[in-house]
Amino acid sequence: MHTKLALVLFTAAIAASSTACKKKGTGDGGGGGGWFVGEGGMMRNVQNGELGEPYELGASERLNEIACRGLGEAWVVGAHGTLLYTNDGGDSWSAEVLPTTADLHALATQDAGPVFVAGDGVFFSAVPDALSGAATWTSLGDGVTQFRSLAAAQKGTTVLAVAADGGVWSYDQGALVKKTTIAGARAVAVSPDGRTALLLGEGLLRSRDAGATWTALPANAGEVFADGHVENDGAALAVGKAGVMAMVDADGRVLHQRVGTADLHTMHVKGWTASALDGYAAGDGGATWITHDGGWTWDAGPNVGATVLGVDEIGEGHR
């Protein structure tokens, strides 16, 4: 069900009968750069190191994640069933209605396939219309499992999810299957081809068989990671607590560095096989960091004004 709404707290009554309107963004729009979402309904775009105008979405719901699809589409999930959509590079945003008011924490997209949305007791999949975003959502949640992270291969079929209890789940042929439980797991990333995956949390683990088995990587003791990126050859980048960043090479060696002192909750890089190696990281306090060399070095970017929970790039090079 597709409606044009300002960002609101969805209730069962709204889901049953909604009114139509579309919120025009007041920022630069047009895709490109880093799109940051987070606490208090914050959505900001950073292009060429410059901060765009705020997007006044009409409410202050916490926005937990952003993921893009194709060249102009992006989706955002948040508290109380919030699901936002743009098909014009962020110039305007619509609110989509899901049959839930649960908090939505996780989101993943595949350009030629589904969009996956998950959260407290819920897991939805759909193949939205590329022009309108209209979708028929299939519900697979059990009402209990609290999903916190999702990752989908752009050029493969692998889709993995992590729950609050460390459960690692796989979406396969329309069904959810629990693969294992790994204590301390908080997030997951999947390579473009789907064969390699990175599990993040209290340490780092890597899988070379689409999540069937996992091997611990030699991260420093006590480091906690929140988000990451992994390439087909196993090379990876991870960010987390107290500004930690870890670069993993294809052989599994780990190099650590610190970027600031604030907790980093999210990151995005285009990938080392892309022509441009730009990327972003952000977290507590709204501070952002920008890399132009795939994560080797970082420069301070503009402060977006609120704690950042998700970042992606609309257009080529999205996650």
The predicted pLDDT at position 65 comes to 98
Q: Which residue, among 118, 133, 135, has the nearest Cα to 78 in the 3D structure? A: 118
Instruction: Specify the pLDDT at position 220.
Output: 97
Of 17-21, 58-62, 297-301, which range is least confident? 17-21
Average pLDDT of the chain, as a whole number: 88
Name which residue leads in pLDDT, 130 or 6. 130
The SS3 call for residue 79 is helix
pTM of the entire predicted model:
0.90
Q: Which domains are assigned to the chain?
A: 1-145 (2.40.128)
Q: What is the pLDDT, as a whole number, of residue 44?
A: 95
Under the banding of pLDDT at 50, 70 and 90, the label for residue 276 is low
Mean pLDDT is lowest, of 22-31, 177-186, 193-202, 304-313, for: 22-31
pLDDT tens digit sequence for 194-230: 999 999 999 999 999 999 999 999 999 999 999 999 9
* Stronger pLDDT, 30 or 16, i.e. the higher one: 30
Give the C-alpha separation, 166 to 184, whole Å: 6
In the predicted model, is pLDDT for residue 144 greater than 50? yes
DSSP code for 146: B
Q: 3-state secondary structure string, 206-273?
A: EECCCCCCCEEECCCCCCEEEEEEECCCCCEEEEEHHHEEEEECCCCCEEEEECCCCCEEEEEECCCC
pLDDT bracket for residue 8 (50, 70, 90): very low
Please state the rounded mean pLDDT for residues 134-151. Answer: 96
pLDDT band at 185 (very low <50, low <70, confident <90, very high): very high
